[in-house]
Structure 1
Amino acid sequence: LEREEGLPPLELLRRRESKWLEMTAHWDKTMARRYKKVRGAAGGPARMWHQSSLTQGTELEEAPGTQQWLETIEKDIHRQFPFHEMFLSPEGHGQRGLLQLLKAYTVYRPQEGYCQAQGPIAAMLLMHMPAEQAFWCLVQISERYLPGYYSPEMEAVLLDGEVFMALLRRVCHRAYKHLQKHNVGPMLFVTEWFLCLFCRTLPFPTVLRIWDAFFSEGVKVLFRVGLVLVRLALGSGEKLRDCVGVVETLEKLRNIPPEQLQEDAFMAELKGGCCPTSWLGHLTHI
């Protein structure tokens, strides 16, 4: 089989898998002795996400769910990675499993219900782990890593959008001034990035590396990734030359050259220190 362009060589993936299998087999010892190495390592498997997010395991209980939420979820299911073989068919195990997982969350947290941005996250989780583990990872993302993001009012993500703009003002003032000049607020681009953990924005291999870091370090990773994206899109006068308004600016943010988003290139940018950790220390849910 031919490898998809941009994916790491099979030999490299096998070496990474072997390394991660050894670390996850002795997870507590690994995290105690080698945390920094785990944090910076590439290609962490789903088990690492599960180990990082799971606080307790229980079996999912069958429940009918609320008709309102079921109807909303059913309308969204086919939109989640429609070209991925797992989610091609409405009768396939991917779409059925995604429906059950999202429904289970509305039963588990009826006061929050369902947020559309949870759909692609749940789908990504199901690609990499069994349904029950994916459910508990979604619970921990929603309640431990990003509390308030998926509530009906989305208070936390709105606040973090403003914090992001304040950081951008310090890190890349040229881009910040441009966004302010054209009234391009964080709700127009940051919200989807953060809510969906970039899985609708970046190539799969890059998303997986970012999720590795996210499960290890928390929400600060989302800020770093977002700042890199804005800098890549709007960080110079040349890049801003054709951005004469809101539409052109958003197009530039959505169409960063693909080669700059590939795994190795992007992670090198991310590790380049565009946003010092000390600037993020005040965030309450880190």
Structure 2
Amino acid sequence: CTYYTIKPSLPLSQVKGQCQKGIPASVRAKGWPLLCGAKDRKEKNDKLYERLVKAPDHQGWTDIIKRDTDRQFPFHEMFQSKDGHGQKDLLEVLKAYTQYRPDEGYCQAQGPVAAVLLMNMPAEEAFWCLVQISELYLPGYYSPLLEGVLFDAAFLSSIFKKLCPAAHKHLQNQGVEPLMFATDWLMCLYSRHLPFDTLLRVWDLFFCYGVRVLFQVAVVLVRRCLGEGRLRKECDGQMETLERLRGVKQRVQHEQADAFIHEVILLIISAHLNKGLFTP
């Protein structure tokens, strides 16, 4: 369950309705931290972020993070310059996380997640949202053994079997496991795989409903890639199938966000009617 279901400050039905419609861009900087509990964590840990940023890096993560900062959304104006505030804030947020969770350190997949957060809010709020994502929403996703994401990626197979059986059969016939393509989808919260407007709408739902939204998006994407017979015929081998799934952004880049999100919401409703459908 999400933080908001534990500590609601508005009627939950009203919040869900707004998240399904899409949180206005001007409100996301406050809305996401409120939904996930980052606002509360920040208030309870006043000045901690500042101390983490200034703390000496005894584990050597800073140099490793620096190699990745210019790879995150290089065409976005925030991250184009090495001396710009975007790359600086990204380095600080990721470095602060390694200080906050030295047992986990830095995971590359956190880079694009932190970058999307920074496009929508200041660095300190982005840090606490990253903490909540890593600890509350996706525990074990960014740990050294990746046990959380490996479990969830494997669980996707049973979901595909129920909701897109023809695509699931094709994956089995071609020897393609969800672990081979969906791990990156889940760890990056689709930040590399969806058009930006659609991505933000998916994150609105994710912060409201939790990890099951990531499973539901996976179903929609697999349907887009392999849902029709002609699409499956185009992928007549393991390599072709994996290329299609890993290049999924090309299948949805011209699709309106509303149409994509509508299909995800239908799966949310289906999950409500069929308890346990998206629960490992």
Distance between the aligned counterparts of 2:58 and 2:108, measured in 1?
Answer: 16
- 1:37 counterpart (17, 22, 28): 17
1:133 aligns with 2:125: yes
Q: Which stretch shifts more, 115-124 or 70-79?
A: 70-79
The corresponding residue for 1:182 is: 174
Paired residues for 1:240-251 under 5 Å: 240-251=232-243
Q: Is the 8 A contact 1:40 1:213 kept in 2?
A: yes
Which digits, 9 at most, give the CA deviation of each residue in 1:54-91, with x for residues without a partner? 23212211212235311211111111001100000111
> When the two structures are superposed, what TM-score results if normalisation uses the length of structure 2?
0.86
Q: Are 2:264 and 1:279 equivalent residues in the alignment? A: no
Cα separation, 1, equivalents of 2:179 and 2:13: 40
Deviations 1:211-247 (CA, angstroms, capped at 9, x unpaired): 0000000000000000010011101211111111122
Return 5+ residue gaps in structure 1 as ranges.
Answer: 1-26
The one-letter code of the counterpart of 2:119 is M
Q: In 2, Cα distance between the equivalents of 1:63 and 1:29?
A: 35
Matched, 1:93 2:85: yes
How many residue pairs get matched?
A: 257
Higher relative contact order, chain-length normalized (CA < 8 Å, sep 6+): 2
Percentage identity across paired residues of the two chains: 48
CA contact 1:260–1:266 (8 Å) conserved in 2: no
Structure 2: runs of 5+ lacking an equivalent: 1-6
2-side partners of 1:117 and 1:177: how far apart?
29
SS at match of 1:265: helix
User: Equivalent residues in 2 for 1:103-122 (5 A)?
Assistant: 103-122=95-114
CA contact under 8 A between 1:122 and 1:134: conserved in structure 2? yes
Two-structure CA RMSD over aligned residues (Å): 1.9
Kept in 1, the 8 Å contact 2:73–2:79? The answer is: yes
Aligned to 1:210: 202
Contact 1:203 1:262 in 2 (8 A): no
Aligned position for 1:263: 257
The equivalent of 1:56 in structure 2 is 41
2-structure distance, mates of 1:56, 1:268: 32
